[in-house]
A and B are shown apart, each in its own frame.
Chain A
Amino acid sequence: GAVVSQHPSWVICKSGTSVKIECRSLDFQATTMFWYRQFPKQSLMLMATSNEGSKATYEQGVEKDKFLINHASLTLSTLTVTSAHPEDSSFYICSVARGDSGYTFGSGTRLTVV
């Protein structure tokens, strides 16, 4: 199945700075990738759908200007958390859809904003 690499696995940043998270599909050309957010003891909530070569589709309530998504190639999508604040601290996970073969997830990124 597809292998998805996510980097970094954890990051600590100061309030007001921006953080970029990378999601790479290593062996599958992914026209679509997904970004999720997970709070402690909660399930995954879809933030946005990343489309190669076009704008991302954001879920209701997700600020597109705060969570910038770029999907410039079939193997790379990035999520940039701009002007991060402590309430943005969370676990962010990307995934790749493999048609009828289900979804493969990255290893996640733990973001802590101090």
Chain B
Amino acid sequence: KQEVTQIPAALSVPEGENLVLNCSFTDSAIYNLQWFRQDPGKGLTSLLLIQSSQREQTSGRLNASLDKSSGRSTLYIAASQPGDSATYLCAVKGGAGSYQLTFGKGTKLSVIP
């Protein structure tokens, strides 16, 4: 069974700081990995999608990397802003014979003005 772990569970940083969120998964036979953002009481907003053949994806101040063989992904946020405060979820598709999405528990980010 695929398991996804996100570290840290919570993170508080001052505005302007660069930061890294970590995601690890137990079965490297994945199709893709997707990073989402969730604001309190809201649905999920897709940030970046990395296919299994890719190493990284970039969108604005966000950069996500994927090391499939080691079962790891990182989400790098540059020059953090208070508006970045949210919970960030990592989800992998596939692994252990499953075509489903498996989510981590998320990292709650607070960017302090």
Residues in chain A within 8 A of chain B (CB atoms):
1, 6, 34, 41-44, 46, 49, 91, 93, 95, 100-108, 110
Contact = CB atoms under 8 A, between A and B. Distances in A.
B46 interface: yes
Interface residues of B, number: 21
B60 interface: no
Nearest to A93: B43
A21 B51 CA distance: 32
A106 B89 CA distance: 15
Interface of B: 31-32, 34, 36, 41-46, 49, 51, 89, 91, 93, 100-101, 103-106
Given A44-B89, A102-B32, A102-B49, A107 B101 contact: no
Contacts of B106: 43
A46 B101 contact: yes
Nearest to B6: A43
Contact of A6 (B41, B43, B45, B105): B43
Given A43-B105, A103-B34, A1 B46 contact: yes
